[in-house]
Amino acid sequence: MRTIFESQLNADQYQAYQQLYNDNLRYKKYFIEENRGQRTIMEWLFSRGTNYTCYIQYLYSLNEEQKIENTIDKIRTVVYAIHKPFQFTFFYWTILIFVLYKFNFKNKVLKIISAHLLFRSLGDILDKFGDLYPRYFSNKYTDQLMHDSNHIECSYEVASPEHYPFRWFLTRQIGCTFWLMGEIVADWYSLIRTREIVKSKKTIWYVYATCGLFNFSKIALIFHHWFFFITKIYDENGVYNNEEFGKFYNVYWVMQLIIIYASLFYDISVYYVLKKYSFQISISGVSFVKKFKTYSTYRIYVTALVSAIFLPMISLTIFARLYYYYVLKLKNLDFSFEEIKISITNLQYFIIFIDQILLSYSNENSDSSKKSNKSNKSNNSTRSYSKNSLTKKIRSPNENNSIKTLINNQMITLINHIN
């Protein structure tokens, strides 16, 4: 029995279509068309779709120019993926810190910043490689109220990574793991710096506890991605399972909210510890300690201000999402706030780089000031010595006369020798 698409073809077109169908039968094994609920993770991972006929229809619709364009797109994607680290938000900030520290990778700060760059860049590269999989040949329901095999049509454009099992695995499981690992390493910055200042274990445990909570919330998000099995992406009819992903993203946004709150608690704990030890810091002779305390305070003020503005809105948005989804049963509403989430997340990392630049600049000025003081002391010492010497000469006229007599005698001897 012909499909609606096939019935619209004339005899010659249908023959060409059938020839294309037969020529690509070797790829049919990559399409999961039967027993979808019983297929393994590996079968789904390497699948190209849930409808082989849909794949053939797409190939038939391509002209020569479109085929070449698809090849160019693949090459472009690979080049863009290689170039991705240079587009990373913190790439040039990182290079600047490397230069300021003269590429001394033994320094703890450089180790943290290097790991942050490495892991997050790898996540960006994998995310870009996901564009190599722009189409997954599946089914979709023609009537949202009738979910059966009689109301199905072809669908192949991938609207988001979760529509393609392998792309989901590459970008949202592996890629997201790298992104969050990079963030976790950078989150240690405040802990390490605070530990260098505050030696009391009884007080600094607040910072350890909140840092651990902050890290754990991100590790939990990594596991949340990995425990969503790709066998759930499509239902028995080979249609994208929007309901399963709706549940996934409900938990995802709640976890993102927890991460933001954990970040705020972490900053507050650092502020509390530095404030508690403000007396010791104020009497410390080490300029770095005082400067770090000052810059950390400003950093926390900025973070608190941003949190005060956006946290209530984000919290209300997530609660509204859950209410509409579970109470009113409206499951296709878009409540995402990805751009705001990225801005809040990146703010604390921007401040790390600003922190380091200010500390480096302050230390350089401090060193210059010390050198200037040493130079002044040296000049004063030299002047004092010269003054004392001159005084001695003035106070010893007999000694000066002896020297003059000796010089005169030498000159007379030299003249006699010449004559």
CA–CA distance, 52 with 28 (Å, rounded to integer): 6
Q: What is the pTM of this model?
A: 0.82
CA–CA distance, 14 with 125 (Å, rounded to integer): 42
CA–CA distance, 135 with 70 (Å, rounded to integer): 11
User: For residue 280, is it within any domain?
Assistant: yes
- The count of structural domains within the chain is 1
Q: What percent of the chain has pLDDT over 90?
A: 52
pLDDT of residue 415: 38
**pLDDT tier for residue 339 given thresholds of 50, 70 and 90:** confident
Q: In 147-240, which residue ranges form alpha helices assigned H by DSSP? A: 165-167, 175-197, 201-226
3-state secondary structure of 133: coil
CA distances from 354 to 14, 85, 171, 285, 388 (A): 65, 20, 30, 23, 51
3-state secondary structure of 258: helix
pLDDT of residue 68: 97
pLDDT of residue 251: 96
pLDDT of residue 368: 52
* Interval 205-209 mean pLDDT: 93
Which residues are registered as beta bridge partners of 141? 152
Six-digit token string for 370: 């010390």
pLDDT of residue 201: 78
User: For residue 33, is it within any domain?
Assistant: no
pLDDT digits (tens, 9 = 90+) for 46-74: 999 999 999 999 999 999 999 999 999 99
Contacts of 53 (CB under 8 A, 6+ apart): 3, 21, 154
CA–CA distance, 256 with 261 (Å, rounded to integer): 9
User: For residue 17, is it within any domain?
Assistant: no
**pLDDT tier for residue 294 given thresholds of 50, 70 and 90:** low
3-state secondary structure of 86: helix
User: Does the pLDDT value for residue 208 go beyond 80?
Assistant: yes
pLDDT of residue 418: 35
* Interval 171-175 mean pLDDT: 97
User: For residue 336, is it within any domain?
Assistant: yes
**pLDDT tier for residue 413 given thresholds of 50, 70 and 90:** very low
Residue ranges making up the domain that contains 325? 86-135+162-363
Amino acid at 334: D
User: For residue 205, is it within any domain?
Assistant: yes
129 close to 76: Cβ distance less than 8 angstroms = no
pLDDT of residue 300: 74
pLDDT digits (tens, 9 = 90+) for 127-170: 999 999 999 999 998 876 666 666 788 999 898 999 999 999 99
255 close to 214: Cβ distance less than 8 angstroms = no
pLDDT of residue 403: 43
* Interval 77-83 mean pLDDT: 97
pLDDT digits (tens, 9 = 90+) for 237-290: 999 999 999 999 999 999 999 999 999 999 889 888 888 776 455 545 445 455
* Interval 289-316 mean pLDDT: 73
DSSP class of residue 30 equals G
pLDDT of residue 287: 53
User: For residue 292, is it within any domain?
Assistant: yes
User: For residue 71, is it within any domain?
Assistant: no
User: For residue 198, is it within any domain?
Assistant: yes
359 close to 291: Cβ distance less than 8 angstroms = yes
pLDDT of residue 404: 45
**pLDDT tier for residue 408 given thresholds of 50, 70 and 90:** very low
Task: Kindly report each contact of residues 368-375 with a partner whose C-beta sits within 8 Å and lies 24 or more positions away, as own/partner.
Answer: none
Six-digit token string for 143: 């009537």
pLDDT of residue 159: 84
- Between CA 3 and CA 10, with CA 5 as vertex, the angle to 5 degrees is 105
The rounded radius of gyration (Å) of the Cα atoms in the chain is: 36
